[in-house]
Structure 1
Amino acid sequence: MQRARRGQGARRSRLQTRRAERNGRYGRFIGLTALGSLVPGAGFIAAGKRRLGTTLLVILVALLIFGLAVVVLVPPGELASYGGDRQMMLILGTALAAGAVAWLLIALGSHRSLEPDGLTTGKRLAGAAVVIVCASVVVAPMAVGSRYAFTQRELVGNISSSGASNTTPDVDISDPWADKPRLNVLFLGGDAGEGRTGLRPDTQIVASIDTETGATTMISLPRNLQGIPFPEGTPLAEAYPDGFSGGGDPLEWMLNAVYANVPRDHPEVFEGVGDPGADATKWAVEGALGIEVDYFIMVDLAGFEAVVNALGGITVDVPRDIPWGNKSLPDGTCTEANGYIQQGDDQLLDGFQALWFARSRCGSDDYERMERQRCVMNAIVDKADPATLLSQYQSLASAAGDIITSDVPADLFPALIELMVKVRTQPLESLTLDNEFFGSMGTTSSDPDYDQLHARIQEILAGTPAAPEGGETGETTPPPEDTTEATGQSADNASSDRSGATIEQASGETDEPAEEPTEGATDEPAADEPVDAGAVC
């Protein structure tokens, strides 16, 4: 009896010992499987396949050293410029995708080599789950990086030049800024939405960039600039020997009318050109400012909200309650607003609010709107930090690809991105061509002295601004009462309906109101009388 009991105890002890050994082997298997999934080659070495495992480890270490060397030795600007190289993005995207697949296959191979015989189905599934979880720590970021690379390649293709141009310079891509101390880029904001006849880019801002330092001056042009001379030697100088002027409605001879009217009246000049209106506008801005305009970037403001929303909103100082959802009337008054963007410092605006903050015309003149537009641009630049761009990249790229066009050649984007890295390190200087600016020269925007304007712009860009107020860089002046309306209307009518640079049409048609108010707006209407807004932002 006792012998039988002793025999049962011995068998139980042996079973427990074997179970403990199996559990130990299984635990070791799980641990080595996790290690092999995280460090390619480690699992094969543990499984006895030392030559294969060592080779994989050497390759991994070599790739890590190479990547570290690139990050440490390549200047940040040059590293960022690779984002504009479509060929580099193709190589990077393909390499990351192939690397992710290879990593997963190696993890599965390590798992299979380490797996003990006789495992139950449950334990086999648990081992496979460990492979998936551990490998995904590396594979998932590689897959996302591959997707970003292909998206970036597609984005550059979408927004780069899509046709011929009469106005883009010939540059040596290997050193595009060698003979170009300043790069002048014209930003156009147009809205050809429902209820509007054609596209008139009412927002026109020239970014004049020092290619050595990145220091940038933003020059905001009023849309009611008239009598614009086209540069000598261009076909439009011959077509308009007395400048852009003529009979009929004066609105058809302002700066914002060049985009639609000049290509319509002189199609022979723009045969084969990708964006005839932008080409014509570049020539007009060159004639107005006396500087070469190298490239344009057009933003379709119908999709502007999506970009701001993708950034998570922008922060600006709102100088007063800004109405949204209303329109100007012929007598200079406004219809009742749907709501207001409330006054206050450091206000976070979503895309809807940011668009209305920039485009709202009621209760202000065009020069105040130009200042608000400048504030929006600066806020977007400030918000576009690397962390935000990385976290919101897909939505940003999708929105930008839909609303931005340009005549920048695709192969110039690497150099342009590298230059933009310099721009971000410098404060943006601002120059608004408002009533005070023209008044300091004894002229108006409806009848400017272009020779004097050219000299003033050259002085400002050279860093030696003239003494009269209103033309200094780095500051903007409070917008005075608008008296430059060319149509002979009262100043109030002009300030609320005709002049300046804005993000909507010159027609007085309804801005595109949203059906529902958004956060930061109030439903209580107030009288939309013109006010002295004071300093903006």
Structure 2
Amino acid sequence: MSVYAASPIRHPDLRAMSLMTRRAWWLVALNFLIPGSVQVLAGNRKLGRLGLGATLFTWLLGVLAVLAWFLWRTAALTIVTNSWVLTGVQLLLALYGILWLVLTIDTLRLLRLVRAAPGARFWIAACTVLLLVVSVGTATAGAYYAGITRGTLQSIFGNGASVPPVDGRYNILLLGADAGPDREGLRPDSISVVSLDAETGRMTMIGLPRDMRNVPFSDDSPMKELYPDGYRQCDVSACKLNSIYTEADLRHKDLYPDAASKTSSAGVEATKEAAEGITGLDIQYYALIDMQGFSALIDALGGVEITVEKRLPIGGDENLQGVDEWIEPGTRVLNGYYAQWYARSRHNTSDYDRMERQRELQTAILKQFTPANVLSKFQAIAQAGTQVMRTDIPQDMLGYFGNLAMKTRELPTTSVELTPENSLYPDELDFDDFDAIRALVRADLYPPTSTPTPTPE
């Protein structure tokens, strides 16, 4: 038997032009589908075994990742958001991209294009180059995005220790911060507590009026020593809830010496303790959204769909003089600029309406964080995220909260708004009646059928 017939791939008959053409197409396809196989079949077997081993290892990791996503989603998310794992993925993809480049160049040598049919040579070469761009480009892009992800997560999330839920819930202080040019320091423009059921993901948003006065601090708060009877006669111009952040940051940093090491600040910690005093909840974490960069995140998501109930002015004063334009009623997709004004507009409407709009916008944004949306606009969202948000949620809890967020998206979000229009409580409820406010919050979080068992003293 001829050696050509026995091994047409490794020892082809160079005189058979049609055979050489078919062989070239086969090698191009194999190099793209199973990198390393070409060298095992037709070239340097040592190089081929290296490429084939790397390919099979990469496939194995991919299969395990898919299985983990469906079977152990929390663990999978925790692993892929770990900085060391992301560094390893970035290095692995970069090395695999280089190896694939070497294998493709070697494959191009093994094709022996001059022996193929003249009319097919250009197309074989062009296809090889195109698949080279696709394959190596994909590996390079994967390494690049792994690096972006690592940097984004490190810049946004904390590195503290994880803490367990309290009474089956995680409570997160959500601050919408506004550091305008007419303000001394940063001041929260919206304040709310997001309470998540640690098992089901059911979410309740508790809106706290920024103008609330005489607020109490939690018993273990150092601010309570300064204001044992509530936040009154303070060191700033107005003794309101949103002034606590400014006062603590500008005048009482010494009360919170460990705040910076916990990826927090004196203002955040003091506001968190005030929110605990108001709601009666233990608040484990905070998330601060900078309104100055808020529009970038909305634009990165492709806008946000909102039903505008009332005509809202952009700019202008309390007498509606100097209004630039109006946000008209109706269901519309708002870009970052208009969404920011939808949340901020304060004239021709009450501050309580404004609170409800902010909560509505936050919920709408959460619903738009779908895997498809995030993946398709990943780089823009990642860049916007570093400008918009910071939090002390530990990076190693991202897997848990990511899985919980997927459950949350499938459930209705309830809201406890401390506003006169809220039908959850009588209109005559006084904001100074903090016992009534705590009872209102607890009634929503723990209906009679799910009241947690008191912890033994």
> Does the pair score TM above 0.5?
yes
Alpha-carbon distance, 1:214 to partner = 0.7
Assess, with a 3 A threshold, how the Cα gap between structure 1 residues 397 and 107 changes in structure 2: closer, same or farther: same
Q: Indicate whether 1:289 and 2:279 are aligned.
A: yes
The corresponding residue for 2:178 is 191
Q: Could you list the per-position Cα deviations for residues 428-480 of structure 1 after superposition, in whole angstroms to 9, with x for gaps in the alignment?
A: 111111124597274433xx111222222222211249xxxxxxxxxxxxxxx
Alpha-carbon distance, 1:106 to partner = 1.4
- Partner of 2:401, secondary structure, is helix
Q: Is the 8 A contact 2:203 2:408 kept in 1?
A: yes
Amino acid at match of 1:229: P
The corresponding residue for 1:434 is 419
Alpha-carbon distance, 1:61 to partner = 4.0
TM-score w.r.t. the length of structure 1 is: 0.73
For 1:63-462, list aligned pairs within 5 A.
Answer: 63-73=58-68, 74-115=71-112, 129-161=126-158, 173=162, 176-177=163-164, 181-246=168-233, 252-274=238-260, 275-328=265-318, 333-345=319-331, 347-437=332-422, 440=426, 442-445=428-431, 448-462=432-446
Structure 1, gaps ≥5 residues long: 1-17, 163-167, 466-537
Alpha-carbon distance, 1:21 to partner = 4.5
Amino acid at match of 1:221: L
CA distance in 2, matches of 1:321, 1:20: 80
Q: Could you list the per-position Cα deviations for residues 7-34 of structure 1 after superposition, in whole angstroms to 9, with x for gaps in the alignment?
A: xxxxxxxxxxx99944763564355234
- Partner of 2:298, secondary structure, is helix
Alpha-carbon distance, 1:383 to partner = 1.4
Q: Is the 8 A contact 1:160 1:407 kept in 2?
A: yes
Assess, with a 3 A threshold, how the Cα gap between structure 1 residues 426 and 84 changes in structure 2: closer, same or farther: farther
Q: Is the 8 A contact 1:36 1:111 kept in 2?
A: no
Assess, with a 3 A threshold, how the Cα gap between structure 1 residues 200 and 59 changes in structure 2: closer, same or farther: closer
For 1:482-521, list aligned pairs within 5 A.
Answer: none
Alpha-carbon distance, 1:360 to partner = 0.7
CA distance in 2, matches of 1:48, 1:125: 22
TM-score w.r.t. the length of structure 2 is: 0.85
CA distance in 2, matches of 1:410, 1:39: 36
Alpha-carbon distance, 1:121 to partner = 13
Q: Indicate whether 1:35 and 2:30 are aligned.
A: yes
Q: Is the 8 A contact 2:248 2:270 kept in 1?
A: yes
CA distance in 2, matches of 1:142, 1:177: 38
Q: Could you list the per-position Cα deviations for residues 110-134 of structure 1 after superposition, in whole angstroms to 9, with x for gaps in the alignment?
A: 2223336789999988765433211
Q: Is the 8 A contact 2:203 2:413 kept in 1?
A: yes
CA distance in 2, matches of 1:433, 1:372: 14
- For the aligned residue pairs, the C-alpha RMSD in angstroms reads 3.1
- Partner of 1:218, secondary structure, is strand
For 1:40-55, list aligned pairs within 5 A.
Answer: 40-47=35-42, 53=48
Q: Is the 8 A contact 2:202 2:408 kept in 1?
A: yes
CA distance in 1, matches of 2:102, 2:14: 31
Amino acid at match of 1:452: A
Q: Could you list the per-position Cα deviations for residues 307-355 of structure 1 after superposition, in whole angstroms to 9, with x for gaps in the alignment?
A: 0000000111111222212232xxxx2223211122112x111111111
Q: Is the 8 A contact 1:108 1:131 kept in 2?
A: no
- Segments of 4+ moved more than 6 angstroms: 117-126
Assess, with a 3 A threshold, how the Cα gap between structure 1 residues 187 and 83 changes in structure 2: closer, same or farther: farther
Q: Could you list the per-position Cα deviations for residues 73-102 of structure 1 after superposition, in whole angstroms to 9, with x for gaps in the alignment?
A: 443343333343212211222222222222
Alpha-carbon distance, 1:221 to partner = 0.6
